[in-house]
Amino acid sequence: MENYTIKKTTETFINGIKIDNQIFDKNKSWYRVIKREEVINNLIECISNCKSEPDIIFMKKSLKYLLNHDDEFIFYYIGSPTYLLKSDNKKDFNLLCKVLLRLNGTRFIKLSAVYKAIKEAGFEDSDTIKSLCRKNKLKINNKDIYLP
């Protein structure tokens, strides 16, 4: 199974690859990356100002859910308070990361295919593969190589 990581500064990154903001701005993805702590703080503020008991109950449920996890960054769905956390649903989290990378125009090559081609060319060790990837500015995770 792939192992993706997300990060958000002023830009969104997946496995160190910058995701073009156009993907989010033009609603190609309804998910956004946000700090879990920021959502928790927003929920606490909303709960303290809310007058609707059903809304308070719902927000407390979301707050409890988020407090029971320790992900630094999470996906949230625009239009509804739905969250996707790696620690809770790694399969869907990784699938969304892969979809966003593809929307971003990131191309993949299976790492096993690269190992096979390099061995067929007479190179045997994985350090050679890593050095070739670094030289060509390719990013590697445990299963794929991302092409610029």
Q: Concatenated DSSP letters for 110-122? A: EHHHHHHHHHHTT
pLDDT at residue 80 in the model: 78
Above 90 in pLDDT, residue 128? no
63 falls in which pLDDT band (50, 70, 90)?
very high
Tens digits of residue pLDDT in 69-113:
999 999 998 877 789 999 999 999 988 998 898 888 876 666 666
Q: Percent of the chain scored above 70 by pLDDT?
A: 72
Structure tokens at 49: 């100002």
Residue pair 139/15 in contact by the 8 Å Cβ criterion: yes
Residue 40's pLDDT band (cuts 50, 70, 90): very high
Write down the mean pLDDT value for the chain.
82
